[in-house]
Amino acid sequence: MPNNLSLIDSARLALQCLDLTSLNTGDTSGDIVTLCQRAQTPFGPVAAVCVWPRFVSQARAALPPSIKVAAVANFPAGALDLAQALTDVKSIVSAGGDEVDVVLPYRALMQGQSIPCADFLAQMRTASRPLALKVIIESGELATPDLIAQATRLALDAGADYVKTSTGKTKTSATPAAARVMLQQIAAHGTPTSGFKASGGIRTVQEAKGYLDMVADILGADALTPQRLRFGASGLLNDIEAVLSGKASIASGGTY
């Protein structure tokens, strides 16, 4: 695997590809004000903020057009509940959102219901256009490489713009092993614009660098852009700013 990116370069790329996220149960409008302020850093803007659907209009009004507003649908449970998921998506679209992060009904997939899951995703794709669609497969719950690969293919076949690892609300979030399976499926699918989002538990630039190197190895260096790669995180920005400012990183306690 190529390992050419320095930590400084990795920090800059991670910032450009970051979906700065606030999806706490008790989020308030004040939290969204803070989130949108944090998204516009001294080192440049993040790619997007990711919020609950009820905060989309507030976030969109607070941010420049260059920062996308993403919101979640069918989140976090990932039920096979088409009506509720469509309600979420329609709310995001009507409020001026740019991107939809929808949870695949992963428990249904684990029970062998691949056709209902495919139908669900097709409906999500239709309802979300022209917004970008990220499909969360909850890779830590799927657990086996075969199921992770199947979920990734279902998302890509439905026309997802990105396949995302996790909600960040389960015991296991993004892992390099799951990411490798997903990236291999994206590469094999043959759609040159399909992207990947690593989400949940990524808190340091060193961790982000591992995913950046893997994306470059499997999809090519051209995929290291916000159009093909995202990180879903709330805490990663702290370490990005530490690295870019030369302060101590969470990862090592050293300076860069």
Asked whether the predicted pLDDT for residue 3 surpasses 60, the reply is no
Over range 2-28, report the average pLDDT: 93
pLDDT at 247: 85
Domain ranges of the chain: 7-245
- Which residues, other chains included, contact 154 with Cβ-Cβ below 8 Å and sequence gap of 6+? 104, 109, 114, 117, 118, 121
Active site residues: 101, 164, 197
- Token pair, residue 90, equals 């329609």
pLDDT digits (tens, 9 = 90+) for 168-204: 999 999 999 999 999 999 999 989 999 999 999 999 9
The pTM (predicted TM-score) of the whole model is: 0.95
Q: Which residues pair with 21 in a beta bridge?
A: 50
| Domain at 7-245: CATH architecture | Alpha-Beta Barrel (3.20)
**Quick check: 95 and 51 in contact, CB under 8 A?**
no
